[in-house]
Amino acid sequence: MRRRDTNPNAPLIEEFRRHLTLERRLSPHTVRAYVSDLSQFARVLRLLGEGRVEEATREGVRAYLAYLHASGVGARSLARKLASLRSFFGWLTDRLPDPTRALSRPKERRALPRVLSESQAHALVEAPANGREARRDRAILELLYGSGLRVSELVGANVEDVDLQARLIHVRGKGGKERIVPMGGFCVEAVTAYLTGRPGDGSWHGPLFPGRGPGGRLSPRTVQRIVARWASRAGVGGVHPHVLRHTFATHLLDRGAELRAVQELLGHASLATTQLYTHLTLERIRTAYEQAHPHAGAPRKGPRGERSPSAEAQESTGHHRERKAAMVSTNSVRAEESPAERGAPSIDPPPTNQRSASSPSRNPEGA
């Protein structure tokens, strides 16, 4: 006989789950994360001797975050869990005060995402060659890299969402938001080849990528395995589907696309999210400049071996900095001596003061 759930928080958590699913229309993955975080919060509160989640105080939330931190949970995960609690208590605001209102977000160092070079991306999407399964995988890789789709958007797409004549795909993104995304010439070519050879009755309805996942669709996990397998064969291992989305955005900016346009293509609600890719582009520009431009480094000698003016200026500046550092160091030592030791009145020390052009040619119409 199944054991009855005696968790007093279960009914409220289930009500919150329905709110996230039906009213906010969040993705199943996001709903699971929020509910998991809230369930964990309820368990920790019980361990700490607190009551129900709706009766939690600011001190209880602080104790929960401190408990997670002591358990080795990183700043990024802590920030996400706090966001889950903010969402929950925001939902309860009309009934109860919000104990998370005065809490600051844990500081986190946001790492720049990994992106592929244009030649690496080219090698990856062209790795699938012959066969029905390879045509399907090629279409998947082209939609991830060529149109920047999220995995959830890819597996949720239907055949009727694809307009090969207009070269567009209708995408349902986070929170039920919809957008229209262009498909480039390579992507149209790959999707056309896949649909032409797809088994079945030739119907232009139903899942674009059928599988054994929910709703008869390919599961996100299967897509991850497909990407990882072909990336390994292309010699760019360690790639997951979102790397292709990062690469899509970065390559657009590299080639001069406007930030607002990239935001619309990605379906970002906030421009700040898209701006992360500008940091990647600037780093790539700086690296390319320093590696390629003959004047990127400071010259040390002139054409006949004599010191160049710029080198002498740099050296002069270096000597000046060394003398200044020595003076500061001397003043600091003198400041630590007593007036009697240095035989002078006590005076405070002064303040210290491409796809790339170099990649193999691929020129179907409208690429």
Give the integer Cα–Cα distance in Å for 312 and 308.
Answer: 6
Name the token pair of 147.
């149109």
Q: Which of 19, 80, 167, 174 is catalytic?
A: 174
In terms of DSSP H, where are the helices of 104-161?
118-125, 132-146, 151-155
Q: Which of 135, 150, 172, 251 is catalytic?
A: 150
Amino acid occupying residue 244:
L
Q: Which of 34, 64, 145, 277 is catalytic?
A: 277
Angle at 261 between CA 260 and CA 267, to 5 degrees: 90
Query: Would residue 64 show up in a list of annotated catalytic residues for this protein?
Result: no
Q: Which of 69, 86, 268, 342 is catalytic?
A: 268
Burial of 135 (0-12, 13-18, 19+ CB in 10 A): buried
Query: Would residue 277 show up in a list of annotated catalytic residues for this protein?
Result: yes
In the chain, the largest separation of any two C-alpha atoms, in whole Å, equals 101
By C-alpha distance, which of 168, 170, 174, 118 is closest to 151? Answer: 174
Q: In this structure, are residues 157 and 169 in contact, taking their beta carbons and an 8 Å threshold? A: yes
Give the integer Cα–Cα distance in Å for 248 and 179.
Answer: 17
Q: Which of 17, 80, 242, 342 is catalytic?
A: 242
By C-alpha distance, which of 208, 221, 200 is closest to 142? Answer: 208
Q: Which of 138, 245, 246, 355 is catalytic?
A: 245
Amino acid occupying residue 68:
L
Query: Would residue 46 show up in a list of annotated catalytic residues for this protein?
Result: no
Length of the chain: 367
Instruction: Give catalytic residues, as residue numbers.
Output: 150, 174, 242, 245, 268, 277
